[in-house]
Amino acid sequence: MALTIRGLSKTYPNGVVALKNLSLSIGNNMFGLLGPNGAGKSSLMRTIATLQEPDAGSIDLDGINVLTQKDAVRRILGYLPQEFGVYPKLSATDMLNHLAILKGVAVVAERKEMVEALLQQTNLWQVRKKALSTFSGGMKQRFGIAQALLANPRLIIVDEPTAGLDPAERNRFLNLLSSIGRDITVILSTHIVDDVRELCSRMAVIAAGKVLLEGSPAEALTALDGQIWSRIVATDDELRGLESQFQIVSTHLVSGQHEIRVFSASSPGTAFRAVPPGLEDVYFLTLSRNNKN
């Protein structure tokens, strides 16, 4: 499954420029789309999902023109948007059965088998008869994946799926996505770096509607080897002084003190220690370089 995006642009009627000549190539893998809020991630996902038209550009999905052959795309697409609405009084089984009918699964026996298998796969079998209004945030997200998997899609888009989940639910959800991503193409749009680090073999960082970086997380980390340095800073004044001297990637509070991470090709001083780069370093450094341009 190959998804090729070329020169995609979108400006909303209120003047907000969401996408700026954006191009991406996504193969048959778990692909992570990282970016801050307002980067254009949801606009891109909605365009791929045939829910809005771009002003310019093209999207090809294995020979299908996404912009003109919307019905063909929808037959092989599963989509979990950032805001996923359900009928709150319906049970998980009844809602999935209803959505399966809308997806064109007309044979009763086939539909029953599909719904039961998805409830098992998403670990919702024990609560299948409960109203969706009683589900926790994590259960609702797993139900969202179940509906996205109806009718055996070849491409699944998930938009900010772990935002607001507690650690246990987040782990359950990521494990579920990982198992799905072995067989079909999954695009994971998020601003949570750890989601991409744990799941994705390919990634892109976007901001202000543009692609800033594209490649594998491993390649991005290798490019920073030996160039990330850490130091604990005791006071705010000391922190401000270092910010004027070095290219600081990020700061974190550790036991009430600031740990700063600095990008430098050589040691910035004896107070610093070399540390292995993380994907968060890649992300923040990419955004920082873009802000300076």
Distance CA 78, CA 154 (A): 8
Q: What is the mean pLDDT of residues 247-264?
A: 89
Q: Are 115 and 97 in contact (CB under 8 A)?
A: yes
Number of Cβ within 10 Å of residue 168's Cβ equals: 9
Q: Are 23 and 7 in contact (CB under 8 A)?
A: yes
- Residue 161's pLDDT is 87
Digit-coded pLDDT (tens) for 183-240? 788 999 988 898 998 899 999 999 999 999 999 999 999 999 999 999 998 887 888 8
Distance CA 274, CA 267 (A): 8
Digit-coded pLDDT (tens) for 169-199? 888 888 888 888 777 889 999 888 989 988 9
Provide the angle, in degrees to the nearest 10, between the axes of the packed helices 137-148 and 167-180.
10
Mean pLDDT of the chain: 91
Residue 21 clears pLDDT 80, i.e. is over it: yes
Q: Are 139 and 130 in contact (CB under 8 A)?
A: no
